[in-house]
Structure 1
Amino acid sequence: MKKTILFLCLFPLLTAADLPDWGRTGHRAIGEVAEAHLSRRARKAVSRLLEGESLAKVSTFGDDIKSDTTYRSFSPWHYVNLPPETPYGEITPNPDGDILQGIEHCIRVLKDPASPRDQQVFYLKLLVHLVGDLHQPMHVGRPEDRGGNDIQLQYFDKGTNLHRLWDSDMIEDYGMSYTELAETLPPATRREIRVIQSGSVLEWAGQSQSLANRVYASVENGEKLYYRYRYLWWDSVERQLLLGGLRLAAVLNDIYG
């Protein structure tokens, strides 16, 4: 009982970066999609750096290192808190970094031929994770509720919050492996893929923010959610996973040619 009370007292102190994002299944599905859309040169470069490990396998790297205090400074890189209707360009960037600054830094390191191999490996793995995070709308959520973490909900009579609902609850509810999830994502034509992969990381963040605003408007604190919520939002979950995978491939293809 004492341990439970201690945890509950400490829980509000956690930031959005301390909590999981997309869950392992979601991140790995994004990596699986990206792998299928790499150029030949990008595939070769990625395979060399990862020594044959797949993008799906390394996609959870950003979460795997969270418990290591050595990497604590990277915690703010997993998200950016934006007030509703306020674009990123109108806020004062977090001096400790955010997801947009983090992605930019990863790309800069990977494009620099002078970067040591160990740094290239580290920032490649981190980039794979962060691009996935960018497409989870609650990672571009409001500061006052820590990206939906403070909006408490009941999902099929189990306690959760809005952030976790989008991270993993809806995905895990289907019980699919990441390969099955990737295979069931809606197909996209070549033209649609070109459109999806166009634009900048900043524009992609703006799209996630727009989705986040709609997600916020769909629930109230303490609400009980069942099949209808999943039915209404599952297409959006699939869409974000697809966007994350295709855009990750675009970023890597741009880096490696």
Structure 2
Amino acid sequence: MIWSKTGHRVTGHIAEKHLTRKARKAVDDLLDGHSLAFASTFADEIKADRSFSMFSPWHYVNYPLNLRYEDSEKSKFGDVVMGIENCKRILTDKTSSKENKVFYLKMLIHLIGDMHQPMHASRGDDRGGNDIQIQWFDEGTNLHRLWDSNLINSYGMTYYELGDELEGSVAKKEIRILQAGTIYDWVDETHQLAAEVYDSIRVGEKLRFKYAYKYNDMLFKQLQKGGFRLAKVLNEIFS
């Protein structure tokens, strides 16, 4: 599972508002005028085609909660950090074909979003929370799906309503602070939040409004970070 379509579109919508003129032109050319929000779900859509199965491990990374990514054992199949680095390499390579640049731009938009979902930078032994069963109101779910979609969909706002709200509520000075650091800093930051999310529930627990009240701020902050940081990465790539 992944950020819901709403979540990915929120990060794309926020990023769109913070592209430089040069980056905006490059992105428009590659996406044929489509928005980042429109392209943000591409990496999930291609999962229906088995010929793209090699990209599935790019959506997440699992490593022990007490380690930094750089100190952890890397998967031979790749992970979200390796995926992002590959996308950046192809997009900055002047010899890359336009077809390749279009594909890896769409992948990058999605992967930056995934990296900010706490359960996408968590533990491997429970498959990023997929094996931890809980209830969301009267519906059976798991910890991963709770953070992928249950929380954000329960909030009931469209991606552009939520994106506008989250983007407009942050001062320019704070945006620069949120954009600071590297991909490695960002994944470790999300990984630390994963530990908090694991501690936030008990197996089989029935969660309701109280959980959303307590953790929606974390959810919204991660969506904000994903959007602002996506803009930073794209501005650097197309500088």
| Aligned residue identity for 2:33 | G
Provide the TM-score with structure 2 as the length reference: 0.98
Query: By how many angstroms is 1:217 displaced?
Result: 0.6
RMSD, matched Cα: 0.8
Query: Which residue of structure 1 lines up, in the alignment, with residue 204 of structure 2?
Result: 222
* 1:83 equivalent among 64, 67, 91: 64
| Aligned residue identity for 1:51 | D
Distance 1:171 1:92 in 2: 32
Query: By how many angstroms is 1:41 displaced?
Result: 0.3
Distance 1:56 1:89 in 2: 30
Query: Which residue of structure 2 lines up, in the alignment, with residue 149 of structure 1?
Result: 130
Q: Deviations over 1:8-57 (max 9, x none)?
A: xxxxxxxxxxx2x1100000010000000000000000000000010000
Q: Does 1:238 align with 2:220?
A: yes
* 1:139 equivalent among 91, 116, 120: 120
Query: Which residue of structure 2 lines up, in the alignment, with residue 167 of structure 1?
Result: 148
Distance 1:92 1:226 in 2: 37
Alignment of structure 1 residues 1-257 onto 2, 5 Å: 19=1, 21-185=2-166, 187-257=169-239
Distance 1:199 1:234 in 2: 24
SS in 2 for 1:185: helix
Contact in 1 for aligned 2:9/2:37 (Cα 8 Å): yes
Distance 2:152 2:165 in 1: 12
Decide which moves more: 177-186 or 227-236: 177-186
Query: By how many angstroms is 1:87 displaced?
Result: 1.2
| Aligned residue identity for 1:110 | L
| Aligned residue identity for 1:40 | R
Identity across the alignment (%): 52
Query: By how many angstroms is 1:178 displaced?
Result: 0.5
SS in 2 for 1:52: coil
Q: Deviations over 1:104-153 (max 9, x none)?
A: 00000000111000000000000000000000000001111110101101
| Aligned residue identity for 1:131 | I
| Aligned residue identity for 2:170 | A
Runs of 4+ in structure 1 deviating by more than 3 angstroms, as ranges, are none
Contact in 1 for aligned 2:132/2:142 (Cα 8 Å): yes
Query: By how many angstroms is 1:96 displaced?
Result: 1.1
The runs of 5 or more residues in structure 2 that have no matched partner are: none
SS in 1 for 2:147: helix
Contact in 1 for aligned 2:135/2:141 (Cα 8 Å): yes
Q: Deviations over 1:155-209 (max 9, x none)?
A: 1110000100000101111221110111222622111111111100000001100
The runs of 5 or more residues in structure 1 that have no matched partner are: 1-18
Distance 2:41 2:4 in 1: 8
Distance 1:173 1:66 in 2: 25
| Aligned residue identity for 2:186 | W
Distance 1:168 1:239 in 2: 15
